[in-house]
Amino acid sequence: MTEIRLHNSRTRRKQPFAPLDAQDVRMYVCGPTVYDRAHLGNARPVVVFDVLYRLLRHVYGKKHVTYVRNFTDVDDKINARARMLQEGGDTRSLNEIIRALTDETIDWYHADMDALGALRPNHEPRATEFIVQMVAMIQGLIDKGHAYAAEGHVLFDVRSYPEYGKLSGRSVDDMIAGARVEVAPYKRDPMDFVLWKPSSVEEPGWDSPWGRGRPGWHIECSAMSHELLGPAFDIHGGGIDLQFPHHENEIAQSCCAHPDADFANFWLHNEMVQVEGKKMSKSLGNFFTVRDLLDELEKRMPKRVAGEVIRLVMIKSHYRQPMDWTEAAAKEAEATLRKWARATENVQSEKIDQRVIDALSDDLNVWGAITVLNELAANGDGSALLGSARFLGLLSEEVRAISQATEAYFDLQKLLILRAEARKEKNFARADLIRKRLDDFGIQLVDQSATVTAPKFEVFKIEEVIQSLPPEDKENLLGQEEYVVPRIFNNKAFSDRYQSFVARKVLGELE
């Protein structure tokens, strides 16, 4: 079996990955707080852990991997956004606005992440559906002496857990000195963090032994991962911005609530999407949403291609390196997809190149995997290229067809440019030759643009085209010359392929 090696933030080194149970490999990734469209930074953990999910499914089998990513649908940021809407004239109750806001944001999130080719996790729990489990866990922590109730709040007693700070490598005293910790009269220690807090009448709230209130953010992940994956599981992921305090707090809660288990075995953190050296974030206002970017790209390429372009740009940077979005990277990704599409023309079968799996198994070296794909394209191994690209969530049937058609169009464009250049140089013989050769194949040049009109090519030329087609197209068309002409031009994919074929042939003749 392929050995996967992953950089474990917990040990600060690359380690061989061995699941607790190879029949049920379990991964939890911190999901979004749902009150706004996801920005490009929020998409990074989604695509990074999607690649890991695909790799785990490949190595251990699809049925043997469970991936959980939560939705935080109860949070002060959500309440604040809902209040803003109320102040803006929304007459619904705060709870109604929050329900509609979180539902809508989850729908947007799904649409945007689907567009980036990310598989949906096996479970996408909403925090509000696991309040009972959160209350039980908090009560357990109080019973064990790790938490205390004060003024309607429940706080985690950080000093009761000597391991606190181990993941991020900080001591509690350093943390107090360096962090913006909230000092509050009900806290015994400034580092203690909230497990439960009181809700006002109009705020979302649930009954609890400590009065009507709502959970703190950190306990949500501890309770949901425990409910869906058990007290110990294999991989916990999220952005590096969550390592402290969120993940540190998750560990403290989970390990104190379930002292016999080890919570998450491997911790994986993706680096940040940056804008001019700073983390892309809502609070800094330096963000653009995935939707904005898709809309922008869709001005010059079809939607499906836009999604794959973003995906390819994002996975190409190693997940532990910061990355910027650049227009140049988008252009390069678009050209790469087109190149791969051409190299997989007429390809039916698919196989995954083992070198791609090996590269990904080395702490998700996607760059290395892409180098292999480019090599396959250069060597004309379309089958392994298609299988491997599909494995990375790229080159879907639709994108392949679109990109191939675009290639065909580019080939024709090249000819038109050559012809225009010839005319400019007053090389009318060459210009005429290009027009004539295209005309021979039934492609007429009209006013600088190429259009396919009623063809007048001979049967042997049709045969040539037919021979270049995949077997089932060939079978449909061979020996039916008299019917070929109308069929070819009724069939968009065929006509694109045909144009590409002709253009390449004529280009070859001119060389």
Ligand X SMILES: Nc1ncnc2c1ncn2[C@@H]1O[C@H](COP(=O)(O)OP(=O)(O)OP(=O)(O)O)[C@@H](O)[C@H]1O
**Binding residues vs ligand X (CB under 6 A):** 30, 32-33, 41-42, 44-45, 238-239, 241-242, 270, 272-273, 279-283
Confirm whether residue 221 is marked as ligand binding: yes
For residues 184 and 8, give the distance between their C-alpha atoms in angstroms, rounded to a whole number: 35
Confirm whether residue 246 is marked as ligand binding: yes
We find the least distance from the C-beta atom of residue 500 to Zn ion, in angstroms, to be 49
221 binds Zn ion (CB under 5 A): yes
Cβ pair 337, 309 in contact under 8 A: yes
Question: Coil, strand or helix: which one is 73?
Answer: coil
Would you say 251 or 329 has its CB closer to Zn ion?
251
Partner from Zn ion, ligand X, none contacting 221, C-beta within 5 to 8 A by type:
Zn ion
Name the pairing type of β-strands 232-239 and 153-156. unpaired
30 binds Zn ion (CB under 5 A): yes
Cβ pair 366, 428 in contact under 8 A: no
235 binds Zn ion (CB under 5 A): no
Partner from ligand X, Zn ion, none contacting 32, C-beta within 5 to 8 A by type:
ligand X
Amino acid, res. 428 = F
Which residues partner with 155 through β-bridges?
148, 194
What is the residue whose two structure tokens read 């080194």? 13
Would you say 30 or 477 has its CB closer to Zn ion?
30
Partner from Zn ion, ligand X, none contacting 272, C-beta within 5 to 8 A by type:
ligand X
DSSP 188: S
Confirm whether residue 282 is marked as ligand binding: yes
Cβ pair 344, 381 in contact under 8 A: no
Partner from Zn ion, ligand X, none contacting 139, C-beta within 5 to 8 A by type:
none
We find the least distance from the C-beta atom of residue 424 to ligand X, in angstroms, to be 49
Cβ pair 436, 419 in contact under 8 A: no
We find the least distance from the C-beta atom of residue 238 to Zn ion, in angstroms, to be 6
For residues 231 and 137, give the distance between their C-alpha atoms in angstroms, rounded to a whole number: 12
Partner from Zn ion, ligand X, none contacting 415, C-beta within 5 to 8 A by type:
none
167 binds Zn ion (CB under 5 A): no
We find the least distance from the C-beta atom of residue 280 to ligand X, in angstroms, to be 4
For residues 224 and 207, give the distance between their C-alpha atoms in angstroms, rounded to a whole number: 19
We find the least distance from the C-beta atom of residue 285 to ligand X, in angstroms, to be 9
Partner from ligand X, Zn ion, none contacting 273, C-beta within 5 to 8 A by type:
ligand X
We find the least distance from the C-beta atom of residue 503 to ligand X, in angstroms, to be 42
52 binds Zn ion (CB under 5 A): no
Would you say 273 or 333 has its CB closer to ligand X?
273
- Contacts for 322-327: CB closer than 8 Å, 24+ residues apart: 322/271, 322/272, 322/273, 322/274, 323/44, 323/271, 323/272, 323/273, 323/274, 324/273, 324/274, 324/275, 325/40, 325/273, 325/275, 325/288, 325/293
Residues that bind Zn ion (CB under 5 A): 30, 221
Task: State the binding site for ATP.
Answer: 282
